[in-house]
Amino acid sequence: MLLEARDLSHVYENNKGLKNASFSVRAGRILALAGGNGAGKSTLIRLLTGQEKQMAGELIWQERQAIRFMPDDVDFPSMLTAVEIIQLLASLKKVGIQESLEVLKRVGLWDVKKQKVQQFSKGMRQRLNLAQSLLGNGPLLILDEPTNGLDPYWIAELKKMMLEEKAKGCTVVFSTHLLAFAEEVADDVLVLHEGGILISGDLKEILAEENNTTLENLWLKKLNL
């Protein structure tokens, strides 16, 4: 067990956020935080990454982990090149130059490494965002909506990278509104709706108990749609 949340809450003035959520994160596995817009996924990620403090409940870490983090969007300095940005971030993370260059190759930006980011498409900026999160060897990788802006090829490559991180012993937590993608890559799932937990646990076991339905169909069933 990596961490346990007990009655975790953080609610904003518009009544959106996370409400009385209890769950656990198992080490060395991939956990999908799934659900629609406003479900509470980003709030939960901000609590996990320490960007916000819960208003109620407990977040109990068995052992505090070094976190690598991919936010849902990064406003990179537009006049810098991809290689300048990744090497700057690598130096802050105390990562060697060679590793920083390798992650650019890994996300398909090697050939455009000397282009300024202002010339990048949304998908290219998203891949640069992914690259910076892969720097280092922190045992917990948190990705907030990592598929945003990616085409089908790079969504497939993202899946490979997540599985590679898991194979190295890393715990991966990611948020998504794409339930089919969550089903393809996740070991465990936490489906949120209006700040509460709709579905939680081992994904294969959950779907087997529901006569091998899909996660999307189960989500619709739980919402009575």
pLDDT in tens, 48-73: 999 999 999 999 998 877 899 999 98
Query: How distant, in Å, are the alpha carbons of 4, 16, 38, 131 from that of 22?
Result: 8, 17, 18, 31
Element (H, E) at 8: strand 3-11
Residue 164 scores a pLDDT above 90 = yes
What percentage of the chain carries pLDDT values higher than 70? Answer: 100
What percentage of the chain carries pLDDT values higher than 90? Answer: 85
CATH 3.40.50.300 fits 3-66+138-222, yes or no: yes
Give which of 202, 195, 201, 203 is closest to 44, Cα–Cα. 195
Residue 19 scores a pLDDT above 70 = yes
Q: What is the CA angle 141-179-210, rounded to 5? A: 115
What span, in angstroms and rounded, lies between the C-alpha atoms of 166 and 81? 30
- The pair of three-digit structure tokens given for residue 54, joined into one six-digit string: 């819960």
Residue 17 falls in which region: left (phi positive, over 0), alpha (psi -120 to 50) or beta: left
The mean pLDDT of 178-204, rounded to a whole number, is 96
The mean pLDDT of 160-167, rounded to a whole number, is 97
Res 207: pLDDT: 94
How many other CB atoms are there within 10 angstroms of residue 212's CB atom? Answer: 8
Q: Name the residue ranges covered by the structural domains of the chain.
A: 3-66+138-222, 76-136
What span, in angstroms and rounded, lies between the C-alpha atoms of 214 and 180? 8
The mean pLDDT of 136-143, rounded to a whole number, is 94
Query: How distant, in Å, are the alpha carbons of 120, 125, 139, 161 from that of 78?
Result: 9, 10, 30, 26
Contact 210, 218 (CB under 8 A): yes
- 204 or 224, which is more confident? 204
pTM assigned to the model:
0.94
* Owner of token pair 């091998």: 212
* Owner of token pair 């890994």: 106
The confidence band for 225, taking pLDDT boundaries of 50, 70 and 90, is: low
What span, in angstroms and rounded, lies between the C-alpha atoms of 202 and 23? 12
What span, in angstroms and rounded, lies between the C-alpha atoms of 24 and 11? 20
Burial category of 111 from C-beta neighbours within 10 Å (exposed 0-12, middle 13-18, buried 19 and up): exposed
